[in-house]
A and B are shown apart, each in its own frame.
Chain A
Amino acid sequence: MYFSEHNKKGWRLLGVPFIFAIFLLAVPIATMTTLSFWTQDYLTLIKTITLDNYKQAWFQPVFQTLFARSLIISLTVTFITILFAFPIAYYISFYGGKRKALWLFLITIPFWTSYLLRMFLWKVILGYNGVLNSFFEWLGVITEPLTFLLYNSNAVVLALVHGWAPFAILPIFVSLEKIDRSLLEASNDLGDNNLSQFFRIILPLSMPGVIGAVLIIFIPCIGDYITPKLVGGPEGLMIANMIQVQFSKANNAPLAAALSVTSLLIVGIISLLFVFLNRKYLRNY
């Protein structure tokens, strides 16, 4: 039975993705986790199992600050993005008419340039001699360029919101599209006005899209490296920047690994908790 033709076919089909998953997902994570229990003395790895790296990662104020900041920035970005994305998705789905495809196409246009360039462009807009400052000076609103625009957490949030918006719009749009329009008529018929209809029908039924969007944005944002590096300044640095520093300049790969595993855990726990709390919206209708 074990080597039946059917089984062989199954193994052949699964084989390639299985190897892929092993080498590109399981092995790196295992390596990273192992590394996080070792220590490093300049360039030599000391393979004695220890929890020292985790002690540092969890209890040193500098790392705590970075974790907290990453978390706050990521949550803020997620919240703001969803807040902007929902009305856009709503508009396209309910009022897009025959131009839905065009709207979706327009939304993907920012992806025609690389993520790096899109993040870099905020330097040009928010910088000391940037677009905004020049414009305000030309208007005569300010005499000195504003310095609070760039190189802080707010700039990071702004850039990330811009970068991730389409990823939020699309899943929300899809879940709005899936709502049977006769349900809206039924709710109207049963006495709902547009506002109560939104909260009783549209929002609960589009929650799968919202939950998807939250995860899609929250998870990569917390580990974003390039945006805080470009527009964050010292005040806007996030945990990924610290991990990079530990891996390279500080020559402390085990600590970097412990920080990485820790962020992985934080993201994993928060995401699972979020999905668990919203599980009633994820039933299959």
Chain B
Amino acid sequence: MNKKNIRNPEKIVDLISIEKSFDKIRAVNNVSLGIKEGEFFSLLGPSGCGKTTLLRIIAGFEKPENGDVFINGKNVNSVEPNNRPTNMVFQNYAIFPHLNVSENVGYGLRNTNLNKDEIAQKIEEALNLVGLEGYHKRASSALSGGQRQRVALARALILKPRVLLLDEPLSALDKNLREQMQFELRQLQKSVGITFVLVTHDQTEALTMSDRVGVMFNGKVDQVASPEEIYNKPQTKRVASFIGNMNFFETEYLEKNSRTISVCHKDLGNIKLLKSNIFGDDKSKLTIGIRPENFKINNKNGKKQSKSFNAKVVEKSFMGDTMLYGINLGENDHHTYRISISDIKNTPSPNIGEEISVYFQEDDIVAYFEE
């Protein structure tokens, strides 16, 4: 075999410069991505960002115009979906309506050379795995949303794929069931040890379940990292604003040192940024981002922290575990920035209209170069 067809074996899925267009619209734009054996990987992005297309390219339902797809070290560009070591859980589950639960779950085994008893045995195991014991003869039309999803999972897992592809598998479920299934999916992935690739637009889903997350926008993967890193160090401004909440401030560039860059904001004052927290190509302007929970409120009589600024409370809402504030900086500023206080008991509770003093840590700040 030549070198082009053998890739790093650690990467169970390896995508090299994948491009795919639909009617002149670039759905996937030069994406290279490696997914490690045994990990729970999520592709996260807003709708229309190309994440589902990328998943379908891995499954073989879409053929990329350019680039190579390697699965388990083998180039599968010309391999049809039925011969790929992948299986998929479809967004609408695609349960065969004319078949009962057993027939659905055992569907793929009929294409192997297992005998009837072995197939029955495996169906039994798969149903136990997803918690559908005794549902064998149930008609597929008599299943609830959650049960349909379990059938779809069992049907895909029964074939022991190298990679299980999940296309927004939880989006059709109601909130409580969704949270329960997030947990169960994670447990299932750990117990079967199969690589899971999940597509979702729900950041909570991606962050809570995954080992690593790839964030996509307009056909490009902006960042691939652990959920913590994605949240704490988003590498592009659109990742920063897509994941969680982020307050952005435009600043003026002051000076550059070996480890830091100093910038100035009219209300926040001078700020020293760690170079490792700054992303993008060197340009004249820097936009800094501070998460709502990284703002703290100074005690009125206590000593003020070093990086403090004054603000006016314009919104206040109690979320149960946190208190959310909206603040304006200065008289003429009508942009509302967000503060989230989790330690409600030990923090002053200013009312709307009150002037407060807010502080932050410079290390928590991320920054992006912009034109």
Contacts and interface: CB of A to CB of B under 8 A. Distances in A.
A191 to B, nearest CB: 3
Given A182-B92, A185-B61, A190 B111 contact: yes
B97 A186 contact: no
A103 B97 CA distance: 29
B353 to A, nearest CB: 54
A45 B27 CA distance: 81
B346 interface: no
Interface string B142-155: 00000000000001
Interface string A253-285: 000000000000000000000000000010111
B81 A189 contact: yes
A205 B94 CA distance: 13
16 contacts: A180-B94, A185-B90, A186-B94, A188-B61, A188-B81, A189-B82, A189-B88, A189-B156, A190-B107, A190-B108, A190-B155, A191-B111, A196-B111, A201-B96, A283-B141, A284-B141
Given A185-B94, A186-B96, A191 B108 contact: yes
B106 to A, nearest CB: 10
Contacts of A201: 96
B87 A190 contact: yes
Majority SS at the chain A contact face: helix
Q: For chain B, give the interface size range.
A: 20 to 34
Given A188-B82, A189-B87, 18 more contacts: A182-B91, A182-B94, A183-B94, A183-B97, A185-B81, A185-B88, A185-B90, A185-B94, A187-B107, A188-B80, A189-B59, A189-B86, A189-B88, A190-B107, A192-B111, A281-B98, A283-B139, A284-B141
Contact of A204 (B86, B88, B98, B159): B98
B121 interface: no
A193 interface: yes
Which of A186, A281, A284, A285 has the most C-beta atoms of chain B within 10 angstroms of its own C-beta? A186
B111 A285 contact: no
B115 interface: no
Contacts of A281: 98
B90 A186 contact: yes
Contact of B82 (A192, A200, A285): A192
A182 B87 CA distance: 13
A205 B108 contact: no
A180 B107 contact: no
Interface of B: 59, 61, 80-82, 86-88, 90-92, 94, 96-98, 107-108, 110-112, 139, 141, 155-156, 159
Interface of A: 180, 182-183, 185-193, 196, 200-201, 204-205, 281, 283-285
A285 B155 CA distance: 19
Contacts of A200: 107, 110
A191 B96 contact: no
A191 B61 contact: no
A210 to B, nearest CB: 13
Contacts of B155: 190
B196 to A, nearest CB: 15
A-B pairs, top 8 by smallest CB distance, nearest first, are A191-B111, A190-B108, A285-B97, A186-B94, A182-B94, A188-B81, A191-B82, A189-B88
Nearest to A193: B82
Nearest to A196: B111
A285 B86 CA distance: 28
A98 B127 CA distance: 42
A191 B82 CA distance: 4
Nearest to A285: B97
Contacts of A193: 80, 82
Contacts of A283: 98, 139, 141
Nearest to A205: B98
Contacts of B87: 189-190
Contacts of A188: 61, 80-82
A65 to B, nearest CB: 41
Contacts of B97: 183, 205, 285
B260 to A, nearest CB: 52
Nearest to A207: B98
A278 to B, nearest CB: 12
Given A187-B107, A191-B112, A281-B98, A182 B82 contact: no
Given A187-B107, A190-B107, A205-B97, A285 B141 contact: yes
A204 B140 CA distance: 15
A191 B158 CA distance: 12
Nearest to A183: B94
B68 to A, nearest CB: 21
Nearest to A185: B61
A157 B111 CA distance: 40
Nearest to B98: A204
Contacts of A191: 82, 108, 111-112, 159
Contacts of A187: 96, 107
A281 B97 CA distance: 10
A53 B88 CA distance: 66
Contacts of A196: 111
Which of B92, B96, B139, B159 has the most C-beta atoms of chain A within 10 angstroms of its own C-beta? B96
B179 to A, nearest CB: 26
B143 to A, nearest CB: 12
A280 to B, nearest CB: 8
Contacts of B141: 283-285
